[in-house]
Amino acid sequence: RISVVLSFCAPTSVALELAEASGCTVIGFLRGSRAKVYTNQWRVSAGRVTIVSGE
């Protein structure tokens, strides 16, 4: 089972639907110390990365 998926680009709407249905966290637009969390944001702690909600 995959819990988290990271990507440098944006996920498709189908990918987000599948992630929501399976409980997977999707993080996209990884740029330096910034990232956009699209699903299940509760799994991610902001520590050294600036988290921007994708919802």
The whole-number pLDDT of residue 15 equals 94
pLDDT of residue 49: 58
Domain count, the chain: 1
Q: Do 49 and 33 form a contact (C-beta atoms < 8 A)? A: yes
Neighbours of 38 (CB within 10 A): 21
pLDDT per residue, tens digit, the chain (55 aa), is 889 999 999 999 999 999 999 999 999 998 887 888 999 888 887 676 566 665 5
pLDDT value of residue 42: 84
DSSP class of residue 37 equals: E
pTM of the model: 0.76
Domain region containing 35: 4-53
Alpha-carbon gap, residue 28 to 2, rounded angstroms? 16
